[in-house]
Amino acid sequence: MPDIVQMTGIRKDFTGVRALDGVDFTLKAGEIHAVMGENGAGKSTLIKVLTGVHAPDAGRILLDGRPVRFHSPAGAQAAGISTVYQEVNLTDNLSVAENLFAGREPRLGPFINFRAMRRKAKALLDDIGIDLNVAAPLSSYSIAMQQLVAISRAVDIKAKVLILDEPTSSLDRDEVAVLLGVMRRLAAEGVAMVFISHFLDQVYEIADRMTVLRNGRLIGSWDTADLGENALIGHMLGREAAELEQIERVAAAHHVEDETPLAEAKGLGRKGSIAPFDLAIRRGEVVGLAGLLGSGRTETARLLAGADRADAGTLEFDGKRLTGHNPRTAAARGIAFCPENRKTEGLVGDLTVGENMILAMQAARGWARSVPPARRERLVAEFIAKLGIRPADPDMPVKNLSGGNQQKVLLARWLLIEPRLLILDEPTRGIDVGAKADIQRLVAELSAEGMSVLFVSAELDEVTRLSDRIAVLRDRELIDVLETESERTHERIVDTIVARGGHE
Amino acid sequence: MSTVQLTERPARSTLFDGLSRYLPISVTVALLVALYLGGVANYPNFGNSQVVAKLFIDNAPLLVIAVGMTFVILSGGIDLSVGSVMAFSTMACAWLTVDAGIAAPVALVLVLAFGTGWGLFIGAVIHRFEVQPFIATLVGLFLFRGLTLQISDTDVSMREIGFFQWGMTHVDFGNVREGGFWLPYLSFVAIAVVIIAFAVLHYTRFGRSVYAVGGSESSALLMGLAVARTKIGVYAVSGFCAALAGVLAAFATKSANPLANVGAELDAIAAVVIGGTLLTGGAGFVLGTLAGVLVWGLLNTLIAFQGNLSSWWARIAMGVLLLAFILLQRVLARSGEKRRA
Amino acid sequence: MSSNGNGGRAALTAGLARVRRSAYLKRLMWPLLVLAALIVVNIAVTGFDFILPSVNDGRLGGAFVNILRRSAPLLLIALGMTLVIATKGIDLSVGAVYAIGAALACQMIMESGNQSSLGLVLTAVALALAVTALIGAWNGVMVARFGIQPIVATLIFMIAGRGIAQLITGGQIPTVDGSSPYTRLGRGAILTVPVPIVIAVAVLVLLALLTRRTALGMLLESVGGNPEASRLAGIRSKGITVLAYLVCGLCAGLAGLIGSANLASADANNGGLWIELDAILAVVIGGTSLLGGRFFLLGTTVGVAIIGTLDDTIINVGLSSQWQFTAKALVVFAVALLQSARFRAWILGPFTRGPSAEAPPETDEPKEVAAP
Amino acid sequence: GGGDDGDGGDGLIVGFAQVGAESAWRTANTDSVKAAAEADDRIAELKFVDGQQEQDRQIEAVRNFITQQVDVIVLAPVVETGWTDVLQEAEDAGIPVVLADRGVEAADEDLYVTRLGSDFTEEGRKAGQWTVETFADDADGTRILELQGTTGSAPANDRKTGFFEVLDAEGLDYELVDSQSGDFTAENGKSVMETFVTTHGLDGIDLLYAHNDEMGLGAIQAIEEAGFEPGVDIQIIIVDGSAAGFQAGVDGKLNYIVECNPAFGAQLMDVVVQVEAGESVEKFTPVEEGVFTADQFEAELPNRQF
Ligand SMILES: Nc1ncnc2c1ncn2[C@@H]1O[C@H](COP(=O)(O)OP(=O)(O)OP(=O)(O)O)[C@@H](O)[C@H]1O
Ligand SMILES: Nc1ncnc2c1ncn2[C@@H]1O[C@H](COP(=O)(O)OP(=O)(O)OP(=O)(O)O)[C@@H](O)[C@H]1O
Ligand SMILES: [Mg+2]
Ligand SMILES: [Mg+2]
């Protein structure tokens, strides 16, 4: 097979960080090539260098054997490289259809033909298997849907190279299946693809070859068939495979002794986002929320966290009914909330890692009582170490961190205040295997120490493994709570959801 | 083909999807009408159709710069140079025709080209060197006021140039003395600018990328849109509009005054924002800007008809009316959103 | 990755912090360079007397000291504006609030019988400051509570404010006796240092301490950088926003007092006219982005010094009034371009080797008063 | 005529498009006009609009008066040019226009009935005349500092022109050491003067010519604070003549005042009534304005109204 893309000796420095150091990368026609590595290994940077977002500090890029140097993604796109970047990069003030066709709208003379555009958008989404109102603003859909829209856009550009940087991070099984189907079809049509994902099963299912990066350096490239899972993890993390044994086994075996609920929602609901529901979370218990995309998990979490105002029902915490529940009072009572969209709702990009971590604690103390510098430095250093945040520099603006490390900073912010109820909405999204295991272990440990956790994840495995009880949602309604161990299985959850379906 | 069909209802109900973003502007228009009716009820002669026509005569240049400003603000920028560029353009018309003796149509083209060129230049500086728009265009505000004063520090008359008679030539609608009204050609130019701007913003690729860039510049870049062209383009549009407004002012008064239009950029920004466009970019309508300019003009007309306010009470009244308007707009739009939620 | 010992890491961190702090100085370098250039031009034209302070009447004088003294009101306003801009806001009403503060105090003192009574002056000053703080808070409430865009919210007082000031003075220009203690606010000296300079520096230090020794600065930057994230982190973002506007109003009022005390009169119509533009300009020259987030009080101070010196330079160099605007435009343009890393790279591009003509984006912006 | 279409009973409805409220002089002028209209039985209502120093707003105001069908329009134009169309509209609507204070370009002379006001060039000439007389024997040449009004404004331009016209015509040996705009405000007057003092020093400077009171008063403070004696170390001329200006004169801090009289309200109302009645009036009626030397300040001070 001919090489479509050939990158040699790529180096990229950011202030204080060498993100890529002499990396070689080759993409062959028609192959699906996975780029693997820990958070911050340099995967996204490699993509951005290839597509002209960043200029490389050294190295050559050949496209179809000819040297190229793009100055913007538009240039790369024109040359046949279509990309879905890691964070959803669409403009949510425009409609779905406009986002799909921005820059290449069907036109009538100088004017955009909106009717044709909507029709084409509909057809495109249909083809991929998504049913949306294409005239609605993109902002009215969940992140997962937005991600699918971004993918559809990239696919429709009909490029010879398609790059997908963690496209599946917020998708659940069905959606992933849809995506992988599309990828296979494109591969058959001869499109070369770069696929970045932290889900090893997906990678093994779809990729022909793998390239592993670590710390900005190339570790090697292998055919998928030649590289076992443990060996891959070993290459990624640079640790011995034996060390990693326990990663899959998380200590979920603990018992909830205290039966009195720490938090109890009764008929809590909000018009237009989630139907009134009852849910109790006991001390030291991990409650998982399972459901399909858009089923209302986020909304449930937000209501409990006080991020949104409920318009029905009551919420009791520690036996007391909460009135005027909002993020501030919630934090004061020990309810912590890591929102699902870290870029827009979680982090303050311009502030440093340390400042972002200290934010909730400082908010609770009020502005006048600043956290003493010594204590602050100690805490920040402690959590940077504990969560393995890299680079371990508390003074780095958080926006310069890789996605996974940003997630850890957000988590650290809330762990710092030692909450009693920790609400995690997709905390493991975009996190590498090692870190994911770290976070899962952390959740297990925290709950063993008596902290209650509400855990939302698109990965059913993760939810079933960690949770003591699982609330199942569908169509913005809480339809069941699975209590016993035997109930908390993958199949049972799927059955519950399907059983309530009926129509479709 | 996949077998699963993924579906999701948008968070907002579909019936209103298309309409929801028109809510702020509908509220603005409704309040505008209410304001007008209030004037009619309270002041004799306010119902005279010329009162409405007058809004399009006296505010024609403001309307034009506000339209240009709408492009810039929608893209997430701001242009403080418009007032000075406008004054400079009027002065340049006078200078080219009266002093340099260049044929008026040629002068007009030169002035418009210069305004556009300035916009291109400052847009390029903003984009290429990542200079904050506020400061880059503030340079324009100072620079063109200075250049205007250097051309002439007194007012200059252009009445001898026959060409400039064109702008105030009337078209009468009905008998002006009996309830009809008249509009000069320059009002039609302003209205045409609004219509063209509307078409460009909503129905062309350039227009949509203005919204996209305003929504998120980095996303637009990563989506492969022509961000540079768009960002530079909006300043060119604004520069053109400012120059055109200057030309309209030349038509309107057939004179140039070095101190004209001081603070016009703020009037324009105010009109745009009152019209519901978000200063952060990405959301708003050029028709909202039209409404904003009309609100601005109508408030001034109301105060003029009241006629017994001292200078300071007139200012206070303007502030209070504006406040009431904005609060109402805000409250109505909010409760409208809630009702639909 | 974890090979670094703990001690090594601490040293590394400290080293990085030092690098960052000097990076901040580097950001300040360009505005400082322009300031220095302006001063050199003045010295070249008028001799070293320009920079050397002289003492007369027990008060420091001399051209440069005079510039600083005259810039004090602008500095006060620009400092308040810095905080507002840090919250992603803007305050257009400061000029009008300046006029209201000045009008209130002067009118009250003028109308009373005994202008030299210290009690009266203090009451007038307190009243004026209270009213201007209230106006600032009102602006803040409009922005934070009613969600009105800052530019419109403050536009209301920009329009109405001068009307209120004129209402207070009846359209006249109230004058205060030169003997009244009030005028000391503008003309007096403490240990030979002119009072306006003392006040402005005191406010600068106070705000720097207030924002950097407490958590206020960080919370402000957080609210400005990402309001929604700040809300979810439990920050009272509304309260903080209101506070920023309140301080801004207070600063504008104080500036009005100093300005009017200097003249012993209050001009409701022209006092502080267009000062909002100069203030915003100073803030931006000083490196604070209008998009909110990081703010730099020291940078603002340098910006004010540039603007103040510029006005004098035009006169000293002997340019006519017509040149005032043009010269200002050119200097501001120079500062803006020099501050742009991209521009510097573009200009210096041909002189530097290496493949990367593109400068790394200026991403790290450490805060100015780093906690030790 | 006779107010037949007015609805305010038997008096006239007059629309007054004022420049703005930019100075104490202007406010005094507005007050004078309003008070005169109030006191005058022949005037039913005075509609007042503040143009905030912008021609656009004034044009708008005049159009509004036309729509409101007032009997007479009084316009104090902020600039001279650019009034043709709107004045024509007034004429078409049959509403007579009286100019107050400033004038419009000569070509529009047919479009207004009469003008009542000051002559800024003449004021400049008066100041120039005094300068020529005072410094005629100055052997080493007269060194002059000038504080101009707002750059580009009519009073600033005309007061400058008139002043130097006389100086040149009379052949005075003078040097204009520096001339900067103080924007008609005390604040800028003071700060520009401070800079003058540090740049040029005051030794050897003979005269300061300030285009209005406020700038002059600001400059006086700057001179005092620099340790000089205004009126003695440097002679000072101001234009306008407010009470504060005269007070400074009484205190010996300035030497010559050229009056620019804002209090022509009563005179204006007479003209308005005459015009409405169709009586013939002079095309230009100057407002009575004096000049005052040091020995007259004390006596004149009590007469000052603003
Ligand atoms: N704009 C930037 N400025 C400074 N440093 C950056 C920037 N972008 C990335 N980095 C740094 O470069 C390194 C590589 O980041 P990159 O985003 O490529 O990681 P990644 O492999 O995609 O990780 P993840 O799996 O978490 O997405 C990280 O240390 C990151 O902090
Ligand atoms: N802040 C919000 N404002 C309005 N609508 C929202 C908001 N957040 C989510 N929604 C909408 O509410 C619906 C429920 O989405 P939600 O995010 O709760 O689902 P989810 O089960 O958490 O799915 P996901 O996998 O996307 O996290 C979606 O249609 C989503 O678009
Ligand atoms: Mg990445
Ligand atoms: Mg969710």
**A366 within domain boundaries:** yes
pLDDT at A38: 85
Contact B208 A111 (CB under 8 A): no
Measured CA angle at D48 (ends D47, D51), to 5 deg = 140
Domain closes at, from A238, A260, A291: A238
What is the tally of structural domains in chain A?
3
A231 and A174, same structural domain? Answer: yes
Helix, strand, coil content of chain B in percent (nearest 5): 75, 5, 25
C234 to A367: CB separation less than 8 angstroms, yes or no: no
Domain boundary among A371, A393, A418: A418
For residue A341, give the nearest of A481, A141, A478, A194 by alpha carbon.
A141
Q: Are A324 and A365 in the same domain?
A: no
Residues of chain B with confidence (pLDDT) below 50: 1-4, 11-17, 340-341
A235 lines ligand 1 (CB under 6 A): no
Whether residue A127 sits in one domain with residue A191: yes
Atom of ligand 2 minimally distant from the CA of A296: 18
* D245, D254 Cβ separation under 8 angstroms: yes
Do C321 and D180 lie within an 8 Å CB cutoff?
yes
Q: What is the pLDDT of residue C11?
A: 55
**In ligand 2, which atom is closest to the CA atom of A289?**
21
Give residue for tokens 């001869």: A190
Q: Which residues of C touch A352 (CB under 8 A)?
A: 366
Q: Tell me, using a 6 A CB cutoff, whether residue A434 lines ligand 1.
A: no
Question: CA of A56: which chain C residue's CA is closest?
Answer: C356
Domain boundary among A172, A207, A238: A238
DSSP category for residue D295: G
Cβ contacts from A onto B, under 8 A: 138
Residues A45 and A153 in one domain: yes
For position C108, what pLDDT does the model report?
95
Confidence of residue A484 (pLDDT cuts 50, 70, 90): confident
pLDDT of residue C231: 93
A407 C-alpha to center of ligand 1: Å?
13
What's B28-37+47-340's CATH class? mainly alpha
Do A135 and A105 lie in a common domain? yes
Q: Are D221 and C297 in contact (CB under 8 A)?
A: no
The chains found to touch A (3+ Cβ pairs under 8 angstroms) are B, C
To the nearest whole angstrom, how far is the Cα of C68 from the nearest Cα of chain B? 23
Ligand 1, atom 7, residue with closest C-alpha:
A400
C186-242 pLDDT, tens digit per residue, is: 988 998 999 999 999 999 999 999 998 899 999 999 999 999 999 999 999 999 999
List b or e across A104-117, with b for residues whose CB sees 16 or more CB atoms inside 10 angstroms. Answer: ebeeeeeebebeeb
HSE of A442, CA atoms in CB hemisphere, 13 A:
21
Ligand 1 proximity of A17 Cβ (cutoff 6 Å) = yes
- Mean pLDDT (chain D) is 90
Q: How far is B327 from chain C (nearest CA, A)?
A: 8
- Going by pLDDT thresholds of 50, 70 and 90, the confidence category of residue D257 is very high
| Partner residue opposite C226 with nearest CB, options A58, A349, A397 | A349
Determine contact, residues A308/A299, Cβ cutoff 8 Å: yes
Q: What pLDDT is recorded for position C16?
A: 55
- Please, which residues 199-238 of chain D have a Cβ atom closer than 8 Å to chain C? 199, 214, 217-218, 221, 225-227
Which chain B residue is nearest to residue C339, measuring alpha carbons?
B131
- Alpha carbon of C243: minimum distance to chain A alpha carbons (Å): 11
- Among A183-187, A277-281, A433-437, the least confident range: A433-437
Within a domain: A319: yes
Query: What residue ranges line ligand 2, CB within 6 angstroms?
Result: A 140-144, 170, 273, 291, 293-299, 340, 458, 476; B 8, 11
Token pair for residue A383? 């959590």
Domain identity same for A145 and A265: no
What confidence score (pLDDT) does residue A474 get?
85
Distance (Å) from CA A144 to ligand 2 centroid: 9
> Are residues A58 and A172 located together in one domain of the fold?
yes
Q: Identify the pLDDT of residue A376.
A: 92
Q: Does B142 touch chain A (CB under 8 A)?
A: no
What local confidence, expressed as pLDDT, does residue C84 receive? 97
Q: How far is B251 from chain C (nearest CA, A)?
A: 26
Q: Do both A498 and A405 map to the same domain?
A: no
**Residue B168 touches chain D, beta carbons under 8 Å:** yes
Supply φ then ψ for residue B107, to 5 degrees. -55, -45
Provide the percentage of residues in chain A whose pLDDT is more than 90. Answer: 49
Report if residue A270 sits inside a domain: yes
pLDDT recorded at residue D3: 39
Asked if the structure places residue A340 within a domain, the reply is no
Q: Are C86 and C108 in contact (CB under 8 A)?
A: no
Question: Residue D155: what are its φ and ψ, rounded to 5°?
Answer: -60, -40
Q: Tell me if there are at least 3 CB pairs under 8 Å linking chains D and C.
A: yes
Q: Does C352 touch chain A (CB under 8 A)?
A: no
Of A299, A460, A478, best ligand 2 pocket probe by most atoms within 8 Å of the beta carbon: A299
Mean per-residue pLDDT, A52-80:
92
Q: Is residue A341 part of a domain?
A: no
The pLDDT tens digits for B214-271 are 999 999 999 999 999 999 999 999 999 999 999 999 999 999 999 899 999 999 998 9
User: What ligand 1 atom has the least distance to the C-alpha of A86?
Assistant: 27
A135 C-alpha vs ligand 2 centroid, how far in Å? 18
* Nearest chain C CA: its distance from A58 CA (Å): 7
pLDDT at C15: 55
The pLDDT of D14-21, averaged and rounded, is 93
Q: Residue B21 class from Cβ within 10 Å (0-12 exposed, 13-18 middle, 19+ buried)? A: middle
Query: Both A85 and A110 in a single domain?
Result: yes
Q: Rounded to the nearest whole angstrom, what is the distance from the C-alpha of residue A299 to the centroid of ligand 4?
A: 7
Across chain C, which has 372 residues, the per-10-residue mean pLDDT values are 45 56 74 93 87 81 89 97 96 97 96 89 96 98 92 92 94 88 92 94 96 92 94 93 97 97 92 92 91 92 94 85 87 90 83 45 34 30
Tell me, yes or no, whether A234 and A251 share the same domain: no
Sign of torsion over alpha carbons C330, C331, C336, C338: positive
List of E strands, A403-497: 421-425, 452-456, 469-474, 477-482
CA of residue A170 to ligand 4 center, whole Å: 8
Q: Name the E strands within B136-179.
A: 156-157, 170-173
pLDDT band (50, 70, 90) for residue A501: low
Check if A40 has its Cβ closer than 6 Å to any atom of ligand 1. yes
Residue A271: the pLDDT is 85
* Dist CA B22 CA A385 (whole Å): 50
Residues of C in contact with D218 (CB under 8 A): 263
Going from N- to C-terminal start, the domains of chain B cover 28-37+47-340
Smallest-distance ligand from the CA of A213: 1
Does residue D302 have a cis bond before it (omega within 30 degrees)?
A: no
Neighbour tally for C179: CB within 10 Å: 10
Long-range contacts of C336-340 (CB under 8 A, 24+ apart): C336/B131, C336/B132, C336/B135, C336/B136, C336/B139, C336/C285, C337/B125, C337/B129, C337/B131, C338/C30, C338/C31, C338/C33, C338/C34, C339/B131, C339/C27, C339/C30, C339/C31, C339/C285, C339/C287, C340/B129, C340/B130, C340/B131
**Among protein residues, the one whose CA lies closest to atom 9 of ligand 2:** A142
Q: Given an 8 Å threshold on Cβ–Cβ distance, is C340 in contact with B278?
A: no
Q: How far is the CA of A401 from the centre of ligand 3 (A)?
A: 9
| Domain shared by A208 and A257, yes or no | no
By residue range, what is the domain housing residue A380?
351-418
pLDDT for res B339: 53
Residue A248 has pLDDT above 70, yes or no: no
Place of tokens 């203005």: B210
- Sheet containing strand D142-148, strands side by side: D174-181, D142-148, D207-210, D235-240, D256-259, D291-293
Asked if D48 and B309 come within 8 Å (Cβ–Cβ), the reply is yes
Instruction: Name the strand (E) or helix (H) holding B110.
Output: helix B104-128
Of the candidates D21, D148, D198, the beta carbon closest to that of C66 is on D198
List pLDDT tens digits, range A354-402: 999 999 999 998 888 888 989 999 999 999 998 888 888 898 899 888 8
Contact A332 C13 (CB under 8 A): no
Reduced to 3 states, what is the DSSP secondary structure of residue C204? Answer: helix
Q: Does domain C28-339 have CATH number 1.10.3210?
A: no
CB pairs under 8 A between B and C: 133
Task: Say which of B132, B145, B266 has its CB closest to residue C325.
Answer: B145
**Cβ neighbour number for residue B229 with a 10 Å cutoff:** 17
- Asked if the model's pLDDT at residue A502 lies above 70, the reply is no
Nearest CA owner, ligand 2 atom 19:
A294
Chain D neighbours (≥3 Cβ pairs under 8 A) are B, C
Residue A346 in any domain: the answer is no
Say yes or no: CB of residue A152 within 6 Å of ligand 1: no
B199–A94 C-beta distance less than 8 A: no
Determine the distance separating the centroid of ligand 1 and the alpha carbon of A402, expressed in angstroms: 4
The whole-angstrom separation of Cα A280 and Cα A481 is 10
Q: A202 and A267 share a domain? A: no
To test the contact with chain C by mutation, choose from A348, A356, A406 the residue with the greatest count of C C-beta atoms within 10 A, namely A348
Q: What CATH number is associated with residue A466?
A: 3.40.50.300
Q: What does the alpha-carbon distance between residue C356 and residue A405 come to, in Å, rounded to a whole number? A: 28
Mean pLDDT of A128-153: 87
